[in-house]
A = this chain, B = another copy of it.
């Protein structure tokens, strides 16, 4: 039995994310998934805890001894990660209990998401876990990640193992946000923790929110839900968590058809979308529009200060984009600002006609002699205007190197000086030039978004969150 005095302090889910030791129970055959990959991923990600592979058919895997059974493991096991036949899982819960294990990640599928028989197995699993006092993530989960301690027991080959550390926590009722499904090394603002709840027979969105609320590594919470386990508890939990950290939720199963599909995916009941929407408004949850928003939108909260208000400033090469984002901004409660008289005069002094909102630098770029030298001053002037609460900046990634260096100069000048959120969108004729420029700007701490609409959606959600915090 585990010595409870030596157990990690149980901040809810800490055994799942900060275990001193993990037992990996499954196949260790070389493959693109399974125990073989879990152990490899833990070793390569730099996990410093003890790893105990368990399977009577193997002797070693990746240079580690494989134990024939849990009870032969010499020492305590904080967490067990299980990838065995669904029919054997309940029995394994009892075995784990015998070894003093208090937390299990059940990767195995074939439960409520599969069929009647699977639903029965899931019932049994829940019952046994309840009796034995073991907490469970899953079943039918791709697992968890904690970047602060290199704990990445990824069950599917991702081809990479280390994930940039940062303030974004991503939880989902799917494995689609786990490392094998997304190129996290490209996510420059970094990740704190990842969790796939799977069929969420035990650990759910409320446990997750409570855990993250007190997690010092997490600054923004991005969450994909198909269903809600306990609406009343979510309302209460979210009300408190959103006063500390922004909570962004993408909810599927919104339509009747989607809800039906959700039931067969994770075996869970969907919630009426109007009720969910009202829950979000009452608790300060911000709603996302599409799946990839889960990765894209948190960047604004991970890197930018909150805006003081909803007055949007725009600098663009083309009026067309201005119109598109004003439409989108207004649906998020943002309005195009009016520049102060001082700013208008300063801009008109740079180039006659520049002192209007949106600030369209296209005509200036084509009309003056050294437009690249003037550009950083334009950005500085606009962003310093007290009438501008947030800035949407559009960059044209032209093959001309001089343009790119004048962009970087502009960001360099305002970096560490301006306490306003800035969202950037880059377009242009050359994909590589645009991608490189985006990387450089993000490395300077300014998020670059995939579309004009996403840029302004991100700013708009920051405005909404700023109001939630003020009114909290």
User: Could you show 20 A-B contacts with beta carbons less than 8 Å apart?
Assistant: A33-B365, A157-B398, A157-B400, A158-B399, A159-B399, A175-B320, A176-B321, A176-B427, A181-B428, A181-B429, A183-B430, A183-B434, A252-B327, A254-B327, A257-B329, A258-B323, A258-B324, A258-B327, A258-B330, A261-B322
Q: Is A109's CB within 8 Å of the partner chain B? A: yes
A444 to B214, CA, bound (A): 51
Category for how many chain A residues contact B: 35 or more
**Could you tell me if B429 and A353 are in contact, using CB atoms closer than 8 angstroms?**
no
What residues of chain B lie closer than 8 Å to A183, measured between beta carbons? 428-431, 434
Q: Is the CB of B262 within 8 A of A323?
A: yes
Quote the shortest CB–CB distance from A403 to chain B (angstroms).
8
A291 touches B452 (CB 8 A): yes
Considering the chains assembled together, what is the distance between the CA atoms of A224 and B330 in angstroms? 20
Most buried by B among A184, A257, A365: A257
Q: Restricting to A222-269, which residues have a CB under 8 Å from any CB of B?
A: 224, 226, 252-258, 260-262, 264-266
A258 neighbours in B (Cβ, 8 Å): 323-324, 326-327, 330
The CB with the most chain B CB atoms within 10 A, among A115, A261, A262, is that of: A261
Q: Is the CB of A318 within 8 A of B362?
A: no
Please give the residue numbers on chain A whose beta carbons come within 8 Å of chain B beta carbons, in ascending order.
32-34, 109-110, 113-115, 156-160, 172-176, 179-184, 186, 224, 226, 252-258, 260-262, 264-266, 290-292, 318-324, 326-327, 329-331, 335-336, 353, 356, 358, 362-363, 365-366, 396, 398-400, 403, 427-431, 433-434, 451-453
Contacts of A327 in B (CB 8 A): 252-255, 257-258
Q: How far is the CA of A329 from the CA of B159 in the complex (A)?
A: 33
Give the chain B neighbours of A180 by CB distance below 8 A. Answer: 396, 398, 428-429
Chain B residues near A400 (CB, 8 Å)?
32, 157
* A356:B320 contact, CB within 8 angstroms: no
List the number of copies, as a whole number.
Answer: 2
9 closest residue pairs by CB, A with B: A174-B320, A265-B319, A159-B399, A258-B327, A158-B429, A252-B323, A257-B330, A255-B330, A258-B326
How far apart sit A256 and B265, CA to CA, in the bound complex (Å)?
41
Q: How far is the CB of A351 from chain B (nearest CB, A)?
A: 12
Decide if B174 touches A319 in the complex (CB within 8 Å). yes
Measured between beta carbons, the chain B residues less than 8 angstroms from A427 are 176, 181-182
* A396 partner residues in chain B, CB cutoff 8 A: 180-181
Pair B429/A160 contact, Cβ less than 8 Å: yes
How far in angstroms is the closest Cβ of chain B from A259? 8
Which of B226, B256, B292 is in CB contact (< 8 Å) with A320?
A: B226
Beyond the given A174-B320, A257-B327, A291-B324, please list 5 additional residue pairs across the A-B interface where CB-CB is below 8 A.
Answer: A176-B320, A183-B429, A183-B434, A186-B431, A261-B319
Whether B181 lies near A261 (C-beta < 8 A) is no
**With A258-B326, A399-B157, A451-B290 as given contacts, are A34 and B176 in contact (CB-CB < 8 Å)?**
no
Q: Give bound CA distance, A323 to B270, whole Å.
A: 11
Pairwise interchain contact A453-B290, C-beta atoms closer than 8 A: yes
Q: How far is the CB of A49 from chain B (nearest CB, A)?
A: 24
With both beta carbons as reference points, the residue of chain B lying nearest to A256 in the complex is identified as B330
Among A179, A255, A265, A427, find the residue whose CB has the most chain B CB atoms closer than 10 A: A265
**Cβ-closest chain B residue relative to A154:** B429
Measured CA separation A458–B455 after assembly (Å): 23
Partner of A318 from B115, B159, B175, B321 at Cβ < 8 Å: B175
Which B residues are in CB contact (< 8 Å) with A431? 183, 186
CB-CB under 8 A for A292 and B451, given A261-B322, A398-B180? yes
**Given A181-B427, A291-B453, A431-B183, is A319 in contact with B113 using a C-beta cutoff of 8 Å?**
yes
Nearest neighbor of A289 in chain B, beta-carbon distance:
B453
Asked if residues B321 and A109 are in contact (CB atoms below 8 Å), the reply is: no
A261 touches B173 (CB 8 A): no
Chain B nearest CB, measured from A255 CB (Å): 4
